[in-house]
Chain A
């Protein structure tokens, strides 16, 4: 095995580690199925086609609805394993269409997922202002630590450190303690965001 291929594997692992696919915010009915897909995607021995096949099988079994099938296919396409952003964008559009068709009480959460996916695509391609716009929409529709974390990531990438620190300090004052704890976990785990907590303490 060449040094180059070993290096590629190491870098792939680093990229995979930097691409988070949480399921906590997902509708409880699909939580288990999407956890299975996330685990397959994180497994270096699994080919992306296996992950796609798994998501489609779960949909056939009725364990994933169309919205979450397309969401899963987007997450797979945008992952460091595939990096096919055009395909990922098409799945996000399918997901939006499916969400609008389904409607109901989950509409806002489903559209927040679409906004997040589009923001991630913009972020991964270096368009941080576009990403910021999508992440802000996602946060308006669904207040989750994940959406706040992504918003902070975009602000940091744009060099708007003061705004990121101000936003973080404000959220700490107004959000419930459980939300702030989850946000702190995200901040601690993310090397981009960790310094913000130090700047909050020592402005």
Chain B
């Protein structure tokens, strides 16, 4: 099987046919076809650096103290 596969791919390429997808269907998946598991859910953490808007005035004004 291991010897046959490259010869078969070369034979198909010779006739202009691309090699078949090594993982055409989940039933053929083996260790080499597995994808890395999705990262843990990071969306639950508060994203730092996102401007926080407590204002409810509906106007982009803001309270600031400019003491003499």
A interface list, Cβ under 8 A from B: 11, 14-15, 17-26, 30, 34, 37-38, 68, 71-72, 75, 78-79, 113, 116-117, 120, 123-124, 128, 144, 146, 149-150, 153, 156-162, 186, 189-192, 194-195
A161 to B52, Cβ gap below 8 A?
Answer: yes
A159 contacts B52, C-beta separation under 8 Å: yes
Q: Is B56 a contact of A21 with CB atoms below 8 Å?
A: no
A19 with B49: CB separation less than 8 A: no
Does chain A have a CB within 8 A of B51?
A: yes
Residues of B within 8 A of A79 (CB): 66
Q: Assess A146 versus B51: contact at CB under 8 Å? Given A18-B62, A192-B62.
A: no
Q: Could you list which residues of chain B lie within 8 angstroms of chain A, going by C-beta atoms?
A: 46-52, 54-57, 59, 61-68
Cβ-defined contact, A191 with B66, below 8 A: no
Residues in A whose Cβ lies below 8 Å from that of B59: 11, 14
Question: Are A156 and B54 in contact, CB atoms less than 8 angstroms apart?
Answer: yes
| Nearest CB in chain B to that of A11: its residue | B59
Question: How far is B67's CA from A149's CA once the two chains are assembled, in angstroms?
Answer: 12
Contact between A71 and B68, CB atoms less than 8 A apart: yes
User: By the criterion CB–CB under 8 Å, are A159 and B66 in contact?
Assistant: no
> Which residues of the other chain, B, contact A149 by a CB distance below 8 angstroms?
65
Across-interface contacts of B61 in A (CB, < 8 A): 11, 14-15, 18
- Report whether B62 and A158 are in contact in the complex, using a CB–CB cutoff of 8 Å: no
In the bound complex, residues from chain A placing their C-beta under 8 Å from that of B56 are: 191
A20 & B63 in contact (Cβ 8 Å cutoff)? yes
26 example contacts (A-B, Cβ-Cβ < 8 A) are as follows: A14-B59, A18-B62, A23-B67, A26-B67, A30-B68, A37-B68, A38-B68, A72-B68, A75-B68, A113-B68, A116-B65, A123-B62, A144-B67, A146-B65, A153-B63, A157-B52, A159-B48, A159-B49, A160-B48, A160-B49, A190-B63, A192-B54, A192-B55, A192-B62, A194-B54, A195-B54
**Contact partner, A18, options B52, B54, B63, B68, Cβ 8 Å:** B63
The answer to whether A120 touches B50 (Cβ under 8 A) is no
Q: How far is the CA of A180 from the CA of B17 in the complex (A)?
A: 78
> Which of B47, B51, B65 is the one whose CB lies under 8 Å from A158?
B51
Assembly CA distance A156 to B55 (angstroms): 11
* Contact in complex: B57, A157 (CB < 8 Å): no
Q: Are B66 and A78 touching (Cβ within 8 A)?
A: yes
